[in-house]
Every structure is written in C-alpha cells, then in structure tokens.
Amino acid sequence: MNCATAATALASPLPSPTSLLSLNSSDVVEVKPNQNGYKWRLVLAYDGTRYSGWQYQESPPTVQCAVEKALIQTTKLQRKDLQLVGASRTDAGVHAWGQVAHFFTPFNYENLDRIHAALNGLLPSDIRLREISPASAEFHARFSVKSKIYHYKIYSDTVMDPFQRHFAYHNMYKLNIAAMRDAAKYFIGKQNFSAFENASHNDRVTDPVKHIFRFDVKEMGALLQLEVEGSGFLYRQVRNMVALLLQVGKEAIPPDIVPHILASRDRRELAKYSFYLPPHGLCLVSIDYNESHLLPPPDCPAKSFGMHYTIRKCKVVFY
C-alpha cells in the first residue's frame, strides 16, 4: 500500500457493522487443519445491570449470550464451534471492566481491527470489547488465571448520588473506616472460606481454600472503594466479605469477629452477624495470568485495541 492509498484509508468514515461482516480475502487467511484451530483472547467491559450474569442461559439475557450472538454473526460459525469460555461467572447485576474470555476459529486473521470494530458494532451499548488478541494453545481464560481483582463501591452519605445508583451501594450510616481496615486484614492469606460461600445453582465442586493477596479499603470523598485481590473466589464470597466489613464499620460487631467466622467454616455462622448485599456495587476489574500463557503464537496478527479514524482536511482556496 502506497502513501496515497494509506491516507485515503485513514480518512475513510467508520464502516457499518453490516459492511464489516463481509470480510475481505486479505482479512482471513489459511485454514488450520487441527481440531480446535486458532484461539483468540477477548477483554470485555460491561454494565451488568440488565443481565443475569455472564454465564450462558437459554432464556434470561446474559453477557455470554450477547457476545456469542455477535461472534456468530461475524465469524459465520456456530456456538459449538466457537467454544466461548469466560474467566469469571459474574453474578446477575455485577459489572466488569476486565472480564476475559477466549474462543476458537478454524481460520486465522491477518488483521484484528476489522473484527474488533465489527463486534462492537453488533454488541449492545452496555457491552464493549476492549481488546482482542491471538492466544497460545496453553492459554485458558479460566484455568490460566493467577489472580483476580474485584472492587465493591459504597456511597456513604445521607442522599444517594443518582449517577452512582447503578454502580455503588447506598449506605446512610457513619462508618468506622479504621475498624473496617483492621477487619479486612484477617482475610489476607491462604484460608478456607467455606463460611463466606453461598450455595451455588450449578453442580460445580469448588475448592474452598483461596489465597487473598490484599484487601484495601479506600476513601474517595463520599465513595468508599473496597479492593480485594485473590487467587480466586467462591460464589458470592466478595459480597459476603464486604457485608461483614460494613457491619464492622457500623460498629455493630468488632473486627476480630472475622477469624471466628472463618474458623467455623459454616455459612450459618456468618448469617448471625451479616446481611444480604446487592450485586450492583461489585465490579470485576482485572485478571492476572501466567505470563508464559500470554505469549503470542507465531504467524498471528498483533492484538487490537480498536481503530482510530481521522478526517480528511478540506483544501479551501482563498482569494
């Protein structure tokens, strides 16, 4: 491509999702003969307000359903061929900034910018594809995870900020932040978190021993942000830990109640002191992976963070 052609391409308006579905022969290259084909990693952000979580379900809207629908339209493959897998089964109403998933295609792409734009053109506005990249055979969105970071936001004031209502829990009590920080320290380390796990709706057997690397309580004006990083989390574990810290902050219970509940390994023991915390304050912020699994495979395109467009300048003749 010469300079004049490149300049014209950069000046072109954003193509419509429909036009992006008709990929040129230069976009899709060789067919890989093995069973799975080429693997691709997605980094997704979404507002979970109107979704029944990430995991695929037949009837309620889920994030995975929306992503699969867009992938089927762009790749012309079926759901069973794509084999889309998410890193975290976020619950109904939970948000994400750094959800990760992977899928397969039998063909390779020469450039990922077009499919990136096509997917965002087809996805609903409350789901965005932030990044798409080739993935190695060793990479797995769920099993290659080293740690996950979740944030839970609490808005502490007498009047709720209407712009925070979908992303923060409203608390009208004065909180003892120092006591909450003291209590959060008890969660750090490798421990059995059975007492903080809700009964799951699926048959998956999970290991109750998790490693919490840090649990920070940060004040940002009226907004309180609780940040927890761990090797993994049980069903509703983060919300249950935050709910207990809120009770400590209200000075309803002392910080050293945490090791007592942990030692019990009994969800009923937690229920004596804590309460239900809604999902909308929770956000999956980022996921850390085994670095060796993130190495790009050979003969694959560079990752795409989205396309930038420029407007061709008009040449005005002055008299």
Q: Which is catalytic among the residues 27, 47, 91, 113?
A: 91
Do β-strands 282-289 and 95-105 pair in parallel, antiparallel, or remain unpaired? parallel
Angle between helices 113-122 and 63-75 in degrees, nearest 10: 130
- Whether 91 sits among the annotated catalytic residues: the reply is yes
Write the DSSP string, 64-129.
HHHHHHHHHHHH---HHHH--EES--PPTT-EEEEEEEEEEESEEES-SHHHHHHHHHHS-TTEEE
Residue whose pair of structure tokens reads 């002392």 in the numeric block: 254
What phi and psi values does residue 119 have, to the nearest 5 degrees? -65, -45
Cβ-proximal residues to 147 (8 Å cutoff; 6+ apart), any chain = 213, 229, 230, 231, 287, 288
Side chain identity at residue 59, one-letter code: S
Structure tokens at 11: 């000046």
Alpha-carbon distance 88 to 99, whole Å?
A: 7
Structure tokens at 66: 């929306």
What phi and psi values does residue 31 have, to the nearest 5 degrees? -95, 130
Angle between helices 177-185 and 237-249 in degrees, nearest 10: 140
Side chain identity at residue 177, one-letter code: I
For residue 208, the SS3 value is: coil
Residue 46 contacts residue 96 (beta carbons within 8 Å): yes
Alpha-carbon distance 34 to 26, whole Å?
A: 22
Structure tokens at 88: 């975290």
| Residues belonging to the active site | 91
